[in-house]
Homo-oligomer: A and B are copies of this chain.
């Protein structure tokens, strides 16, 4: 085809979504799927290295680049990596269940442990409504509409020192008269300055005709790299009306923040990423409003907490220097911004507050979790861990805090794992193994037929295999066991969790040595982070008085199994508290109280970040932790004891047999 010919248009049909799209010949199939709204897993961001975006070409022709991620057998079946394929003819594409992104199961969210909540804050939402009846203008009292309003607010509620949003001035004449001079105004406290409560400056952000005080809502969001969670909050009653979550629409551009930042540097990339997460947020908003029968016009405030990259991308900021040493965020405290200017489907009077960040890899989500769980309020030495694609760790108490983060990789959320899945229906989460037959008992989320393995399932499986002696402490399979479940596969040895016939995907679901290695590296990064950080402040893990585990993933892991593989420290179990999504927790509490807002600013300022990537101790700790549970058995006394007993039992059994 010569260049001067017009580009041909091609129709691409996706099933089972049953979606058609017309595109130019030559377009990238993954991009086409994204454009069509078809949700395909693409952990590596379309570089071809993860192999999760395989689709079946049912009809038509693509031009594809083959990578080691596509086996000969798959190629013969007509499978192709979407990210490596170009549209040549009209196409009919089937997206297999394991390549699909589906909504995670919301109901798995645990209730927060009440004991881990921040305390002592007053119910004083930053967003408030005031109802006023103004004396209508007369020729004796003909001050301007705005002067009349401000005068009455001062007389009636002692409100002064206000800044007025220009848009409010624009609405003023109409609203005052529509409401017969009875109106409700909305004021907002921003975190833009630290000052005494009574001298705090209010922003007048909205005015409505009549008395609308009973319609007074805000939105709290956790913007995660993988998932976005939102809550609709009733600011009169101090309660959550609805909660929703969805995958971050940016997933199709890469699984982790590094890939996202790289994508954001491509032409138009920053805008695309922003639009992707905004679309996700808007979808959740729509769902929350529909479920709770609240109109979007009554939303007055949006509070978001996210890691630094997610926050910066949402705000449309250049994240280039987040991933270049010395790792510089654009800002710690972000000025308030109109939510609709970012594309959010809320009224033009709504400001968005983004939690302050500490450093490139210690973001507002951690600050939010800390203020939400009240770490800064208590004297006890506390370890706060947010387990996810990015592992973040804080150690401290009401006097001091140090923090660190490291990329654990996506294993905890099912990424980089042959049959990895996020925690969605059909994901294997529960695992038991018969110690003699080595046959598994698997349980899935929602009880459906298995279609993959979620992060917490992975921990349970590895812990079970370790306890049963199927794998050794260095994560390798014991190849000489009397079971056909252990076999040699593409990636070395593997263990079959479900035979093809028992699954949704029609093929054996396995865990491979590569999968185990990925998990071991992820847990080693988390544990080594804790270890290095505790050491850096002169304590050891056993000195920790409380360990708060946060993260959507964190809320569903089995504490005992997590200790068994060496992810969590081997300390008395009653010191652990699981709070679920700590980032969302802090965002919601901030909706309720300016005290928490003040705390957020203060906590962000008191955190000292330690850069692990350049820390020699950390590298040593990391290498030491690349073992199940750890090369230093003394750090995991209860686990090594248990494993020794189980090994003894196996020997006895063998001797007995």
Secondary structure at the A interface, as helix, strand, loop or mixed, is loop
Q: Which residues of B contact A192 (CB under 8 A)?
A: 163-164
The smallest beta-carbon distance between A318 and chain B, in angstroms, is 5
Q: Which residues of B contact A441 (CB under 8 A)?
A: none
Q: Which residues of B contact A337 (CB under 8 A)?
A: 166
Known interface pairs A146-B332, A330-B172; A325-B139 also in contact (CB < 8 Å): yes
Q: Which residues of B contact A144 (CB under 8 A)?
A: 328-332, 357, 359
Instruction: Give A333 to B169 CA distance when docked, in angstroms.
Output: 10
Contact of A165 (CB < 8 Å), options: B147, B335, B357, B609? B335
Closest to A173 in B: B318
Q: Which residues of B contact A177 (CB under 8 A)?
A: 321
B143 near A174: Cβ-Cβ < 8 Å:
no
Closest to A145 in B: B330
B330 near A146: Cβ-Cβ < 8 Å:
yes
Interface residue A107 (Cβ < 8 Å from any Cβ of B): no
A331 near B169: Cβ-Cβ < 8 Å:
yes
Known interface pairs A174-B318, A318-B174; A333-B142 also in contact (CB < 8 Å): no
Interface residue A317 (Cβ < 8 Å from any Cβ of B): yes
A137 near B328: Cβ-Cβ < 8 Å:
yes
Interface residue A432 (Cβ < 8 Å from any Cβ of B): no
Q: Which residues of B contact A141 (CB under 8 A)?
A: 326
Closest to A320 in B: B173
Interface residue A138 (Cβ < 8 Å from any Cβ of B): yes
The smallest beta-carbon distance between A107 and chain B, in angstroms, is 38
Q: Looking at A161, A193, A330, which has the most chain B CB atoms within 10 Å of its CB?
A: A330
A139 near B611: Cβ-Cβ < 8 Å:
yes
The smallest beta-carbon distance between A410 and chain B, in angstroms, is 26
Instruction: Give A321 to B328 CA distance when docked, in angstroms.
Output: 52
Q: Which residues of B contact A174 (CB under 8 A)?
A: 318
Interface residue A334 (Cβ < 8 Å from any Cβ of B): yes
Q: Which residues of B contact A574 (CB under 8 A)?
A: none
Instruction: Give A176 to B22 CA distance when docked, in angstroms.
Output: 43
Say which size band chain A's interface belongs to. Answer: 35 or more
Q: Looking at A164, A165, A360, which has the most chain B CB atoms within 10 Å of its CB?
A: A164
Closest to A341 in B: B166
Interface residue A75 (Cβ < 8 Å from any Cβ of B): no
Interface residue A120 (Cβ < 8 Å from any Cβ of B): no
Q: Which residues of B contact A193 (CB under 8 A)?
A: 161, 163
Per-position 1/0 for A150-175, Cβ under 8 A of B: 00000000000101111001101110
Q: Which residues of B contact A315 (CB under 8 A)?
A: 169-170
Interface residue A198 (Cβ < 8 Å from any Cβ of B): no
Instruction: Give A318 to B146 CA distance when docked, in angstroms.
Output: 13
B146 near A333: Cβ-Cβ < 8 Å:
yes
Q: Which residues of B contact A209 (CB under 8 A)?
A: none
Interface residue A652 (Cβ < 8 Å from any Cβ of B): no
Interface residue A73 (Cβ < 8 Å from any Cβ of B): no
Q: Which residues of B contact A330 (CB under 8 A)?
A: 144-146, 169, 172-173
Q: Which residues of B contact A165 (CB under 8 A)?
A: 335
Known interface pairs A139-B611, A142-B611, A173-B321; A164-B335 also in contact (CB < 8 Å): yes
The smallest beta-carbon distance between A143 and chain B, in angstroms, is 7
Interface residue A76 (Cβ < 8 Å from any Cβ of B): no
**Which residues of A are at the interface with B, using a C-beta cutoff of 8 A?**
137-139, 141-147, 161, 163-166, 169-170, 172-174, 177, 192-193, 315-318, 320-321, 325-337, 357, 359-360, 609, 611, 614
